[in-house]
Structure 1
Amino acid sequence: MSRLIDKEPPYEPETPLRLVVAGLSRTGTAFVPGLQELGYTPWHMCEPIDNPSRMYNQWTEAMKCRFFGDGRPYDRQDFDKLRGPYDALLDIPACLFWDEFQELYPETKIILTTRSAESWFKSIHNTIIPWLEKPLLNILQHFDNKRLGPEMRMVKMAYKVICKNNYHSHRTKERYSQHNERVRKGVAPERFLEMRLGDGWEPLCKFLGVPVPDKPYPRVNNTNEFNQGAGEADTAMLISLFKPWLAVIVPVVLAAVWFFLLGR
């Protein structure tokens, strides 16, 4: 079966995959500015990219192949084409492939970001899950194949892997804890670091073997920031989706008004 990734030309990244953050979304994975400060080029689900549909569709395909047997699983060359110039991968769905990455990239280190299962469950229900369940977005996703559609399909596929899309079941908390335990037991100690919210620069820099920056550790993507960012992205998407129609509708409305006034 032909895969999307097979249509991509060969790609030789300048740097190998150096770091994978295996923590699920809403566990403090959004420390992209921190990793950039340390010399990494990280990819996070909310990273602005030129062609989001390409990357989102390929991540969805990678999950289908790996977790649902729908095609040949991605190998190192496939993941190199998918990740491109990024040498650190964070957030869903990359975190779901932590075990493959540590085998395909022996030089890769693994960080597990964690918080209590209860606080994680509360956080996803204040952010990601309401976004996934918005009725309007679930309709519009079928009309936007540039970003919204591919992004929602990717996130829903990731949560199918995590909890079979049973977002509101308390068993989802068990699946979260099971994921964390698999990572703890599945990575060699010299390649593994577990970080909790608020740990700051010191354990991260010691693990990565880099100096501690002389600036505060970045704290980003809290609940308010997530929802504000999601709202701004949704607004931009709606404008881009309906803008072509306005070019047709506005002249028609103006013509109708003009005709009505002349008719009087």
Structure 2
Amino acid sequence: MGDLQVIGTGFGRTGTLSLKRALDRLGFGPTYHMQEALRRPSHLRAWREYSRTGVIDWDEVLGPYRSTVDYPTCLAWRELADRYPGAKIVHTVRDAERWWESTATTIYQGRTVLPHWFRGLYGPAGDYGEVNERLLWQGLFGGRFEDRDHAIAVYRRHTAEVANGLDPERLLIFEVADGWAPLCRFLGVPEPDEPFPHVNDAAWMRRRITAVRYGTRALPVAAAGVGLVGSRLVSRRGGGR
């Protein structure tokens, strides 16, 4: 069993990437984030199985990691907190309205960014879509994320469940805007002599989503165009014989 030391229970879009960078800097890395799963098809397959059955080999997925943040691990926080009783819990939060707006315009758009034909053609894309749909959009939010009031109620309930379900001495409710001081004090490490890594990747994500959306929609058109040109060349060559 790996030695997980910090478990992040906050939802995505609450500063989880900033927290990942901070934990890595403080010596609690490598830190598991959704980005790690996206780089590893075997992890996406493991999460797909978890989304279907609730079964996952934590040693296989988290073995080399010392901390976790973001989706999908924050959705398994109870299981991880029980499995790693010595780990401290950092729960990232932000204004609920701003959290919903950020999520709605970034990762929620991922539901439709890839066409079904592409998901079927490229296995990891299909696995990623299924994991998010089962665990997040249909699971956590019950298919009602677009209902702002419902989604925000889920967000607030999650924070209450984390706060009420853990020993207070084990838990830090953390806003990344507060910087190093509360995090380092909670983890018992000195503050680095450098700015806290505030990573605001929302604009980058929106640009990437737009690029992928248009790119995958353009592929069939481009392929059809190449096929048409090829058939005409073959026809002309055949006609000249």
TM-score range, shorter chain: 0.7 to 0.9
How many aligned positions are there?
233
1:198 is paired with a residue of what secondary structure?
A: helix
2:90 is paired with a residue of what secondary structure?
A: strand
- Within 5 Å, give how 1:23-34 maps onto structure 2: 23-31=10-18, 32-34=20-22
Separation of aligned partners in 2, 1:111 and 1:34: 12
Separation of aligned partners in 2, 1:225 and 1:219: 14
Q: Contact 1:92–1:158 at 8 Å: present in 2 too?
A: no
Aligned to 2:73: 94
- Within 5 Å, give how 1:89-238 maps onto structure 2: 89-134=68-113, 136-145=114-123, 147-159=124-136, 160-169=138-147, 170-230=149-209, 234=212
Question: Are residues 45 and 231 of structure 1, via their aligned partners in 2, closer, same or farther at CA, if it must alter by over 3 Å?
Answer: farther
1:219 is paired with a residue of what secondary structure?
A: coil
Q: Contact 2:6–2:66 at 8 Å: present in 1 too?
A: yes
Which of residues 48, 62, 78 is equivalent to 1:60? Answer: 48
Aligned to 1:6: none
Separation of aligned partners in 2, 1:63 and 1:258: 49
Question: Are residues 133 and 65 of structure 1, via their aligned partners in 2, closer, same or farther at CA, if it must alter by over 3 Å?
Answer: same
Counterpart code for 2:30: T
Q: Contact 1:162–1:176 at 8 Å: present in 2 too?
A: no
Q: Does 1:44 align with 2:33?
A: yes
Counterpart code for 1:37: R
Shift of 1:158: 2.1
5+ long unaligned stretches in structure 2:
none
2:91 is paired with a residue of what secondary structure?
A: strand
Separation of aligned partners in 2, 1:26 and 1:167: 14
Higher normalized helix content (fraction of residues): 2
Separation of aligned partners in 1, 2:5 and 2:127: 27
Question: Are residues 194 and 138 of structure 1, via their aligned partners in 2, closer, same or farther at CA, if it must alter by over 3 Å?
Answer: farther
Separation of aligned partners in 2, 1:90 and 1:175: 18
Separation of aligned partners in 2, 1:48 and 1:61: 14
Separation of aligned partners in 2, 1:258 and 1:143: 28
Separation of aligned partners in 1, 2:116 and 2:178: 37
Identical positions, percent: 30
1:211 is paired with a residue of what secondary structure?
A: coil
Shift of 1:253: 3.4
Separation of aligned partners in 2, 1:252 and 1:174: 53
TM-score of the aligned structures, taking structure 2 as reference length: 0.84
2:115 is paired with a residue of what secondary structure?
A: helix
5+ long unaligned stretches in structure 1:
1-11, 67-72
